[in-house]
Amino acid sequence: MSNATLFDSLGVLMPDLLPALMSESASARICLAAQQLPPITRGLLECRLAADSPQVDLQQNFHATDGEPEQFQKYIEMRTTLTKARTAWIRLSNFIRRWVTETDWRDHIPEIWCEYDLAGSNNLATPSVFIALPSNLAPAERWLFIEEVLTILLEPSHWQRVKSVVNMCFQACAGDEWVAYLGLMLARPTKALRVNVKRLTPATLGAYLERVNWTGAIDTTLSLAQRLWPYLDRFTLALDVDTRVQPQLGLECVSKDWPTFLNELVRDELCAPAKREGALRWPGLTTPATTAAPWPAPLAARAVLRSPETFTTLAREISHVKLTLTPTAPTSAKIYLAFTHQWLTLTHAEPTSHL
């Protein structure tokens, strides 16, 4: 099974995507990318919801357990050898080496996401990397750990340029608010860091944006958040940070009523009706009995070692919708379709994902 890849699992799920969500060319790019990635069956398909936006991107998730950091390290070291864009890969490799070898790093970083932009090239670009931040440290210790991480991942001059603004985003959190993820957009021309702030509500969003000196249209943002809030369970604020907090922002929305929420986006012309229908048909379970495709060999081998009452499945769900508000362009929407391997027993499911 040394040649196993993400495609072994993802290829089983591709028939569950309607053409409205993924064109043949987008599907081909996803499959080619998955054939180059390690066989960790946990990730997201990132689909634009506008009718004229066919691009689909891919994310893969790595937990700090079950040998996943070692698999990630092996993959990163291989890519570092093959790619010409060596600087970013070397920094990423150094970071992953610490995650593999140091127990406290595994304790403090529960998971890492890699996002691959698949705009048209068949070559797998450097991923953007999203790091889950520790929730088990006091604020001062947490900041010292984040400084240590970013000193490895960023060029020294870049870190010194953005350090005070990133710290401001942390210090601006009040009550239950907290910065849960930092994203390094290694694949993109921008030098901005992505800062994801959780546990905000429409009642607290405006004050937070004022505390970080956000220069966008707060009234417009609050109006959108308040109007959609009745359909949401929660949202995460995504900010781009450089020498200041950039005016573009994202609202990553998790709905408690996906059909009605997506109806609202259709009404606002942010989502094509056919893509709404495709998204709502994604959630479900794929099992060896419900697919004609060969079941992934690594999952089949693990299933043999389990109880006869335990079944291997691939779970599909809607993770979230991201609304991007940009001063110079109309608001846009993307939906993130989650997939993960899950063990089922006759009585209950054993969750294996943080999605």
Other beta carbons within 10 Å of 275: 24
- Percentage of the residues of the chain whose pLDDT score is greater than 70: 93
Residue 234 — very low, low, confident or very high, per pLDDT cuts 50/70/90? very high
pLDDT at 354: 37
Residue 126 — very low, low, confident or very high, per pLDDT cuts 50/70/90? confident
For the ranges 121-125, 168-172, 178-182, 200-204, which has the lowest average pLDDT? Answer: 121-125
| pLDDT greater than 80 at residue 229 | yes
Tell me which of 119 and 45 has the higher pLDDT: 45
pLDDT at 167: 96
Residue spans of the domains in the chain: they are 7-350
pLDDT at 81: 76
pLDDT at 304: 87
pLDDT at 65: 94
Residue 83 — very low, low, confident or very high, per pLDDT cuts 50/70/90? low
Read off the pTM. Answer: 0.94
The DSSP letter of residue 230 is G
| pLDDT greater than 80 at residue 352 | no
C-beta of residue 185 within 8 angstroms of C-beta of residue 192 = yes
Q: Measuring CA to CA, how many Å separate 12 from each of 34, 49, 58, 286, 288?
A: 12, 23, 16, 8, 9
Residue located via tokens 């893509």:
275
**Mean pLDDT along residues 76-96:** 79
| pLDDT greater than 90 at residue 348 | no
Q: Is 302 helix (H, G, I), strand (E, B) or coil?
A: helix
pLDDT at 263: 98
Residue 127 — very low, low, confident or very high, per pLDDT cuts 50/70/90? confident
C-beta of residue 232 within 8 angstroms of C-beta of residue 255 = yes
| pLDDT greater than 80 at residue 108 | yes
Other beta carbons within 10 Å of 251: 23
Select from 76, 114, 58 the least CA-distant residue to 339: 58
| pLDDT tens profile 147-198 | 999 999 998 999 999 999 999 999 999 999 999 999 998 766 677 899 999 9
pLDDT at 355: 38
Residue 253 — very low, low, confident or very high, per pLDDT cuts 50/70/90? very high
| pLDDT tens profile 263-316 | 999 999 999 999 999 999 999 999 999 998 999 988 988 888 888 888 999 999
C-beta of residue 239 within 8 angstroms of C-beta of residue 165 = no
| pLDDT tens profile 137-151 | 898 999 999 999 999
Residue 337 — very low, low, confident or very high, per pLDDT cuts 50/70/90? very high
| pLDDT greater than 60 at residue 122 | no
Question: What does pLDDT average to over the chain?
Answer: 91
Q: Is 304 left (phi over 0), alpha (psi -120 to 50) or beta?
A: alpha
